[in-house]
Amino acid sequence: MASLRTYSIAQLLHLITGQVIEDNTFHLGYFTGQDRLLPYPYRVHSYALGVPVSGSLSGSLNLDTFEVQPGQIMIIAPGQIHRILSCSADFAMRSLFFTDAFLTNYLRSPAQVMTLGFFQPSAPMVMTLTREEWQRINALIDVIEHHYWPADQAASQPGGFVLQALLADLSNIYKKGEFGKSDLSLTSRSAELANQFRRLVTQHYLTMRHVSDYADQLSVSAKHLSETVKMQTGRPASAWIDAMIVQEAQVLLSQTNTSLSQIADYLQFGTQSAFGKFFRQKTGDSPRDYRNRR
């Protein structure tokens, strides 16, 4: 049965722009409000940096909502759940997609990229830059676009080194800005526990439905986990689990013809009635009404 979809760079670009490209490990893309920005949640195998040049876009990343516009940069790590909620008609954004395989040539270790603060789960998905910082980041993207794109074998290596410089610049901006300072409190054990819980939820929400399941994995009591997650995120631990189930159900209802009884079975509800009651309680709609409006 279809679930939250995970796309390669080529698959995502084809769905949004209609372009057919090779499944590269690096891509410079340009998106506008006229493109088919996918309305359903999905994952991407790659890292992505989005730099708007006009308009605005709102969306969610791992269930946290955001809005991004010129002067800001959107940051996505592999495996995060991304969803576009809306964008203005004049929206336009340049995006860099790259994979661990691409970074292998430029970093001491592909895992080194995950030591960058702005790719950590606790980091904001949108960074607001000063005018000078935003211009500097755009200047580096200009170098890639005008000198090393479209990428070929001869140009990919210098383009990769420009990307490395861009990541280093973003890392310095993050460390010296309010983003990095706010992380001082997020490095606490409580914040790390909440982050670990949320990572586990995005991976195991179909099979681990109770807070106690995650508490066992994290070697803490369910009460302590619930209190910590509520303190760190403002939402109870159970609400994060329910939100992932609702999101999965919405994808199945809107993107497939799977019967309601099959969806109920897949989401591990005992009966279709139990699924319908849960869905209505969380969304205000019955599953059938939600599907009919899509």
Which long-range CB contacts under 8 A does 288-294 form with residues at least 24 apart? 288/260, 290/250, 290/253, 290/254, 291/253, 291/254, 294/253, 294/254
Judged by phi (left if over 0) then psi (alpha if -120 to 50, else beta), residue 256 lies in: beta
* Helix, strand, coil share of the chain (percent; to 5): 50, 20, 30
Q: In what order do the strands lie in the sheet with 26-32?
A: 26-32, 92-98, 47-54, 72-76, 126-128
Residue 91, sorted as left (phi over 0), alpha (psi -120 to 50) or beta, turns out to be: beta
Q: What percent of the chain has pLDDT over 70?
A: 88
For the domain covering 5-183, report its CATH number. Answer: 2.60.120.280
Residues 6 or more apart whose CB falls under 8 angstroms from that of 61 comprise 76, 80, 81, 82, 83, 125
Who has greater pLDDT, 12 or 2?
12
Q: How confident is the model at residue 109 (pLDDT cuts 50, 70, 90)?
A: low
Least confident of 136-150, 215-229, 267-281: 136-150
Are 34 and 90 in contact, with CB atoms under 8 Å apart?
no
pLDDT at 186: 45
Q: Which of 95 and 187 is assigned the larger pLDDT?
A: 95
Contacts of 213 (CB under 8 A, 6+ apart): 204
- pLDDT range class, residue 128, cuts 50, 70, 90: very high
- Residue 185 banded pLDDT, cuts 50, 70, 90: very low
* Residue 154: predicted pLDDT: 45
Q: Where in the chain is the domain with CATH 1.10.10.60?
A: 189-293
Segments of the chain assigned to CATH 2.60.120.280: 5-183
Beta bridge partners of 83: 60
pLDDT band of 37, cuts 50, 70, 90: confident
Question: What is the rounded CA–CA span in Å between residue 56 and residue 92?
Answer: 8
CATH superfamily, with its number, for domain 189-293: Homeodomain-like (1.10.10.60)
CB 14 within 8 A of CB 21: yes
Query: In the chain, pLDDT over 90 holds for what percent of residues?
Result: 45
Q: Which of 172, 72, 166 is nearest to 124 (CA)?
A: 72
Q: What is the pLDDT of residue 26?
A: 85
Sheet arrangement for strand 57-61: 5-7, 42-44, 81-87, 57-61, 64-68
Q: End-to-end alpha-carbon separation of the chain, Å?
A: 19
Neighbours of 167 (CB within 10 A): 23
> Letter for the amino acid at 176?
K
pLDDT, average across residues 153-163: 71
When mean pLDDT is compared across 10-19, 212-221, 285-294, the lowest value belongs to 10-19
For residue 183, the model assigns a pLDDT of 46
Q: Mean pLDDT across the chain, nearest whole number?
A: 85
